[in-house]
Amino acid sequence: MKNLQKCIENIPSDRIAFINESHQYTYSELHKLKIQNSHLIEELKGSIIVINGRARLEFVLLLTILDSYVEKILFLPQDIEKKLHNIYYQEAHVNYEVYLEGSILKYNTINTHENKNNTEQPIYSTEWIIPTSGTTSIPKLVSHSFQSLTKSTKSDIDLGESFRWGLVFDIYRFSGIQVFLQSIVAGSTLIISNPKESMAETIKLLTKKECNALSATPSFWRKVLMTKESDKLSLKRITLGGEISDNNILQALKKKYPHAKISHIYASTEVGVGFSVSDEKEGFPKEYLTGKLKNIKMKISSDGLLWISPSDKGQKYLSHDKMYDEDGYINTGDLVEERDGRVYFLGRDSGAINVGGNKVQPEEVETKLLSTGLLNAAYVYAIKNPMMGSLVCADVVLNDKSMDKKEAKFQILKYCREHMEGFKVPAIIKFVKELQTTQSGKLKRVNK
């Protein structure tokens, strides 16, 4: 697959490409949209553009008609701070902001661009510039190509006809782009949800539009399972990504959707899609470290960090910061641990809580809290303490809302003390109705 345009040309024109609550576009209508705006596309040819995070449907339409005609596309999520906009525009040398008014392509000029390409055919291998998540630092811009983003994407358009993917990730970030690409490369249908809708309304839309394949974070899946509407979903494919997939959520999904193929994916904006695990267990087999995987190599450093070397090293930081070490490996920043022939994720190295000189990984404590069987969700964070440096605190959501909170706290702490070292046991437990998540469905981690 050379580019997105060539990919779309091979898909039967009457198939539905995108659908939301009120609109749908077939693959032939994507072609018509491009033809309708051909004169403006010609004006933008060879330039560097930015697509601001206004609406998910607008974004996918713009991407499909402009890829391979422009040199670079900068994706700008809604949650990117305004003060970073100009910084990113300068770093990417953006010429135009593009948007749609109905079906009409419009643009605002940022820096003029001299169009020297007068050919009628698209000639560019467009760079897709995607911000990192910026969970613990200022997001960096990573340049990818269509080829680097689709190296592990299934492209069987006969099989793809049977899938309707639900889009619940933030489309402007790597996780959402992957769902978009898996759907469009295989000629499937992408059901686009509205991030402003409630979980119940989102599930109703997915059910109404016959979603049978859904990719989301473990935090999102936990919220799905709390809704009565989840009973109506008929899923053939379930994927998890963006956060650690523990046995609790994997087994809960297996029980709820016994006929679905369940896998969890390790991916990042820098690495791309690293690997997937389909044995319905948390972590991954140790054999993955010894060359079993085709597209990547992996190693664990002496300090327990996972390093990955992708076979395609076309991606790079736009700032020209160093991404690879001398052997071609990327530091993922994820702490892992080998146990009994398997490798388990512990959490982000940068997110560790310092308790009296001891490092505590919030994700590790969250997994233990969820293992009590009493909780649907848990969020662990630090509160500063003059004696200990920090205290481990947890906001939790009970499975049974009617359960006595004093009894629940007693049972939770008892379990934690039996299964964790003392400095990891939460000093404060707060019961909440629900936990905040980002537009990508991840737990919103904020120091309190």
Distance CA 129, CA 316 (A): 10
Residue 122 has what pLDDT? 53
Ordered domains of the chain (ranges, CATH) = 4-333 (3.40.50.12780), 352-431 (3.30.300.30)
Amino acid sitting at position 380: V
Residue scoring higher pLDDT (62 or 272)? 62
Rounded Cα distance, 367 and 353, in Å: 16
> Is pLDDT at 260 greater than 70 in this prediction?
yes
Give the span between the Cα atoms of 208 and 379, in whole angstroms: 32
Question: Pick from 7, 3, 30: which is nearest to 18 by CA?
Answer: 30
Inter-residue contact 333 to 349 (CB < 8 Å): yes
- Range with the poorest average pLDDT among 23-37, 129-143, 300-314, 414-428: 129-143
- Among residues 2, 218, 263, 294, the alpha carbon closest in space to that of 121 is found at 2
| C-alpha dist (Å) from residue 31 to 14, 34, 206, 355 | 11, 5, 26, 58
| Phi and psi at residue 434, to the nearest 5° | -160, 165
pLDDT at 440: 82
Q: What is the structure's pLDDT at 154?
A: 85
Instruction: Flag whether pLDDT at 224 surpasses 60.
Output: yes
- Is pLDDT larger for residue 148 or for residue 347? 347
Across residues 105-121, what is the average pLDDT? Answer: 74
Which residues are CB-neighbours of 94 under 8 A, at least 6 positions away? 48, 49, 50, 74, 88, 110, 111
Q: Is the pLDDT of residue 136 over 60?
A: no
Task: Kindly give, in sequence order, each residue whose CB lies less than 8 Å from that of residue 404, ignoring residues fewer than 6 positions away.
Answer: none
Helices (H), 81-130: 82-92
User: Do 152 and 424 touch, CB atoms closer than 8 A?
Assistant: no
pLDDT attached to residue 325: 92
DSSP-assigned letter for residue 328: S
Helix (H, G, I), strand (E, B) or coil at 289: helix
Q: Which residues pair with 299 in a beta bridge?
A: 307
Summary mean pLDDT of the chain: 91
And the tokens for 396? 């939790």
- How confident is the model over 97-123, as a mean pLDDT? 79
Q: How far apart are CA 19 and CA 193, in angstroms?
A: 9
Tell me the HSE value of 425 on the side-chain side, using a 13 A CA sphere: 14
Would you list the DSSP string of 20-61? -SS-EEEHHHHHHHHHHTHHHHHHHTT-EEEEESS-HHHHHH
Please give the average per-residue pLDDT across 188-214, as a whole number. Answer: 95
Among 53-57, 112-116, 329-333, which is the least confidently predicted range? 112-116
Written as one string, the DSSP assignment of 162-185 is T-EEEE-S-TTSHHHHHHHHHHHH
Least confident residue range of 83-92, 107-116, 418-427: 107-116
The values of phi and psi at residue 213, to 5°, are -145, 130
Residue 83 pLDDT class (50, 70, 90 cuts): confident
- Contact (Cβ atoms closer than 8 angstroms) between residue 66 and residue 97: no
Q: What does the alpha-carbon distance between residue 280 and residue 351 come to, in Å, rounded to a whole number? A: 26
Residue 6 predicted with pLDDT over 90: no
- Is 262 within 8 Å of 214 (Cβ atoms)? no
**What are 336-345's pLDDT values in tens digits?**
999 999 999 9
* C-beta separation of 413 from 425 below 8 A: yes
- Give 35's pLDDT tier (boundaries 50, 70, 90): very high
Q: Which two tokens stand for residue 112?
A: 């003029």
Task: Evaluate whether 356 touches 423 at the Cβ level (below 8 Å).
Answer: yes
> How far is the C-alpha of 13 from the C-alpha of 155, rounded, in Å?
16
Q: Do 247 and 282 form a contact (C-beta atoms < 8 A)?
A: yes
Return the SS3 of 294.
coil
The answer on pLDDT for 309 being more than 90 is yes
Q: In the numeric block, which tokens belong to residue 87?
A: 């910084």
Percent of the chain with pLDDT over 70: 96
Confidence (pLDDT) at 320: 80
pLDDT (average), residues 165-193:
94
Instruction: Give the pLDDT confidence score for residue 135 in this predicted structure.
Output: 56
Structure tokens of 116? 């020297």
Read off the DSSP letter of residue 443: B
